[in-house]
Structure 1
Amino acid sequence: MKSSIKECSQINTTDAKSARYVAMAVGIAHLLNDAYASFLHPLLPRLMDKLGLSITLAAALSMIFSLSSSIMQPMAGYLADRFGRKVFVIAGPLISGVFLSLIGLAPSLSVLLAILLLGGIGSAVFHPPGAAMAARTAEGKGSGLRMSFFSCCGSLGYAIGPLAIIGLVTTVGLENTWMAVAPVIVLTLLLLVALPPDDPQISNPDPPSLREVLSGLKGPLGVVFCISALGAFAQRVFITLSPIISSEAGASEAVGALTLSVYLGAQAFGSLASGWLTDRVDRSQLLAWLTGLSVPTHMLALWLPPGSLGAFIFAACSGFLNMALLPPIVVMAQEIIPKSPAMGSAVVMGLAWATGSLGLLGTGIIGDWISPQFAGLVSAPVLFLGTALCFHPQLKSYRKVVS
């Protein structure tokens, strides 16, 4: 009996160690995938000059990219739950990295749209299986801390991307963004070696259909979905308008990129802190505080002079609070749909992010009509709707931590 217990303990230790390696590999993939996804926004002022785009068209580009990187996620989650996650985790960053490295080569708006659509699809393919793999690689299911590690890596990628791409185009020119493809080639080779074959016990041959999951939006999943969509709208507005506001104020391109990196870098810390809290506190109250505090911080970050200390401080606060929404939202979704964690993640990340992105077109029109700063300031209070939704009765069963 003692020998059997000892052997079982050794197996569990080995599995946990292997799980940590897998989690690290998926985290690195998320970092690089989201670094490529952050290339567009700091380049918007250059692309507007090169292609003669208005603020409305620039916002439309951001919206279309967000839609392409989000709307395919539920289907990707369904396929990953049914057939395995490894191929999606490897292929997603590769597709995203290859196409988004070509942004600077686009000779026209139509070519740029095609590049963004294809690059966005690559990102969409990665996120649901990546989130499910990250949250389930160690013992236990739906851990906020494990989800926060995955989220943190993506936020770091988003923070590094703007500085990296601006540094590259400043050195070699906008037409040479293709040089950025090298890291994703190396990543693909590493993932082929680092990720083990899919565990047949994890793959679910009969997950809930996409229609069944979407019909669940009438219940608690729909409430979580709306909170996520509102948070995504606030983030998309900030990262789209902030570089344009900086440019129109006469600030340097570096100031615009640094503001994005401060905002997106702070998201990494927000996801880590929130992941720890998600496992310990009432999730509805946590989400209510995060959404409520996000309104004044986003407004101040857009209102204060670009490049000022105050603008950087409130950009950091806004990013921290915005990404802190993700761990409790994803964990609650996975608990609501326990048989299909990847699809649950896809609905509250991909589909919700796509829905939130739709508002960008209206924001862009207001930006052209009045000013980009005004458009950002009137958009931020929408998050108060999320605060109200946090106390919806249908979330009662998922507010507390599952023991």
Structure 2
Amino acid sequence: MSSAPDLAPSLEAAPSHEARRTLMAAGINHALHDGYTDLIYVLLPVWQSEFGLGYAALALVRSLYNGALAALQMPSSQLAQRLGARAVLVFGTLLSACGYALAGASGGLIGLCAALTLSGAGSSTQHPLASAVIARAFGRSAHGPLGTYNFAGDLGKATVPALVGLLLTLTDWRSALWLIAFLGVLVALAVGRLLPSDRPSRSETPHKSLRTVPLGSNATTGRTGFQLLVGISMLDNAARAAFLLYLPFLLQEKGAALTTVGFALSAVFIGGALGKAVCGWLGHRLGVTRTVLLTETGTAAAILAVISLPLAPVLVLLPVLGLMLNGTSSVLLGTVAELAPGGRVERAFAVFYTFTLGGSALAAPLLYGRLGDVVGPIGATVAAAATALCVVPVMLVLSPRLAPVASLQQS
């Protein structure tokens, strides 16, 4: 997910049919791109066999997509101010589909890496711009539609990897990617048809309420609290990326076929979708600190259980693991605005997402990938559990800085 660019919602709500069309287009687009992002995990064992890659190289291949996605979100927002959000969203979806088509046509590892980087660049457009067009369409009542939009992304994570796993039983991986790329072209056409026309205006300025949040400027919380929050998110996302990197190989060692791997990943992502709602509710009931401590320790314990249990119990456990693995992010996201330095909420979200996604994209090949080559997938997965536990002391340091924010909210 990414923060909305400086394209604020208008005070006047769009007509209801346009708002519904906007949400439908953004939701379909989100499902595709999040599915594109995570289907790579299903293909990692295939590429290992095809190209003779070690775990560090596989992690690098995975990170090329995520790195491009993280690095180009802010430039995509700036491009939309010149060309319009609809044009950039359609172009980004076509570019991402083209990247997967080229990946299927690639003759070697270099071509595959270039194609995945291109596809990640295309996917960088959808998070910031889709959030903006939904906010503009629904105005002050956009919180619910934005939640629907986020849930659509989780549906894509749950369905697209499973679809690719099924296709791999019917055809080779290159043909499977061409079919997935064709699906992307269809989605791009749907987005272009459903989204209302928007004309970018350089004179358009964000609504003041989006920029001015006095909580973030509180001297007690300060910049340090926000930096700690970013650090926690980077650790949480790194643990998730490392675990998902090795999960297909752990499952294969337990006797899982590629189809089972695809459905197992879908089970993780379905649990993650539920985790956003459950952990958001827990955050309100238990508080941010207790919820994060609960989810991170639970994540570490569940990862260790996945290593030690046989295949059948693991498949039952994976949705619960996904709930905790993905649920922490919803609690952290809700705290960004509270700790935004100087009350600059939009910039805080941009920094938060860039460091979170970019950090995990770098950590996967440089740390966990190399570790897997040295100690094997089991040892590297244990390191992922340890990374989740590293959140605990950092969260305890951040906790006192959240108390002044809570008291300000209640006053």
Over 3 Å counting, the alpha-carbon distance change for 1:226 and 1:265 in structure 2 is: same
Could you tell me how far 1:319 is from its partner in structure 2? 1.2
2:72 alignment partner in structure 1: 72
Could you tell me how far 1:13 is from its partner in structure 2? 8.0
The answer (yes or no) to whether the contact 1:148–1:271 under 8 Å persists in 2 is no
1:121 alignment partner in structure 2: 121
Could you tell me how far 1:14 is from its partner in structure 2? 6.4
Gaps of 5+ in 2: 1-10
The answer (yes or no) to whether the contact 2:87–2:192 under 8 Å persists in 1 is no
Out of 216, 228, 243, the position equivalent to 1:223 is: 228
Q: Deviation per CA, 1:58-80, whole angstroms, max 9, x where unpaired?
A: 12212232222222224434555
Q: Deviation per CA, 1:251-290, whole angstroms, max 9, x where unpaired?
A: 3112222211111121111123344556776334433332
Number of residues paired by the alignment?
384
2:181 alignment partner in structure 1: 181
The answer (yes or no) to whether the contact 2:93–2:184 under 8 Å persists in 1 is yes
Could you tell me how far 1:108 is from its partner in structure 2? 1.1
Whether 1:381 aligns to 2:386 is yes
The one-letter amino acid paired with 1:173 is: D
The one-letter amino acid paired with 2:244 is: I
Structure 1 segment 35-114 matched on structure 2, within 5 A: 35-77=35-77, 85-114=85-114
Name the CA distance, whole Å, in 1 between partners of 2:115 and 2:299: 32
Q: Which moves more between the two structures, 109-118 or 336-345?
A: 336-345
Name the CA distance, whole Å, in 1 between partners of 2:137 and 2:344: 15
Over 3 Å counting, the alpha-carbon distance change for 1:222 and 1:58 in structure 2 is: same
- What secondary structure is seen at the aligned counterpart in 1 of 2:138? coil
Name the CA distance, whole Å, in 2 between partners of 1:133 and 1:359: 32
Q: Deviation per CA, 1:288-342, whole angstroms, max 9, x where unpaired?
A: 332232221222224323x32x212332112112222233333433453798766
Structure 1 segment 225-304 matched on structure 2, within 5 A: 225-275=230-280, 282-304=287-309
Q: Which moves more between the two structures, 151-160 or 110-119?
A: 151-160
Could you tell me how far 1:243 is from its partner in structure 2? 0.9
Over 3 Å counting, the alpha-carbon distance change for 1:139 and 1:262 in structure 2 is: same
The one-letter amino acid paired with 2:45 is: P
The answer (yes or no) to whether the contact 1:128–1:342 under 8 Å persists in 2 is no
Q: Which moves more between the two structures, 84-93 or 186-195?
A: 84-93
The answer (yes or no) to whether the contact 2:14–2:138 under 8 Å persists in 1 is no
Q: Deviation per CA, 1:185-233, whole angstroms, max 9, x where unpaired?
A: 222222223223268697549999xxxx9xx994433222222211211
Structure 1 segment 309-320 matched on structure 2, within 5 A: 310-320=313-323
Gaps of 5+ in 1: 1-10
- What secondary structure is seen at the aligned counterpart in 2 of 1:371? helix
1:153 alignment partner in structure 2: 152
Over 3 Å counting, the alpha-carbon distance change for 1:121 and 1:203 in structure 2 is: farther
- What secondary structure is seen at the aligned counterpart in 2 of 1:69? helix
Out of 339, 352, 355, the position equivalent to 1:351 is: 355
Over 3 Å counting, the alpha-carbon distance change for 1:313 and 1:148 in structure 2 is: farther
Name the CA distance, whole Å, in 1 between partners of 2:142 and 2:307: 35
